[in-house]
Amino acid sequence: DGGITQSPKYLFRKEGQNVTLSCEQNLNHDAMYWYRQDPGQGLRLIYYSQIVNDFQKGDIAEGYSVSREKKESFPLTVTSAQKNPTAFYLCASSIRDRGSGANVLTFGAGSRLTVL
């Protein structure tokens, strides 16, 4: 089955530590995304990548870094510079819907990061 795999599902981190969240897709999608979900704030875009070796900052990129060395993989590093890292992180990839032309995202199951 094609889809997006995020790991780990749950992660605990001590303050001051960097942590990397994995995202792998086998959908052959060109674009990949990282969103963060907090209660009452919906989904906020951290970074997105349209093609390999290219990525753009989203609305809340400070304290995060990404890489896109392979089409299938888009890991997110939460650095110690991120002030409030405890959140639910969602990775997605996209393809244009042939019917409407809309950019339809397929999401992974998410990773919950808790900073102790």
Instruction: Give the Cα separation of 107 and 35 in Å (integer).
Output: 10
Q: Which of 21, 46, 105, 113 binds another protein (CB under 8 A)?
A: 105
- Residue 68 Cβ, how far from another protein at the closest point, in Å? 13
Residues in region 21-60 near another protein by CB under 8 A: 31, 33, 35, 40-45, 48, 50, 56, 58
**Is 75 near another protein (CB under 8 A)?**
no
Residue for token pair 């979900």: 37
66 binds another protein per the rule CB under 8 A: no
Residue 106 binds another protein (CB under 8 A): yes
Binding site for another protein (CB under 8 A): 4, 31, 33, 35, 40-45, 48, 50, 56, 58, 88, 90, 92, 94, 96-97, 100-110, 112
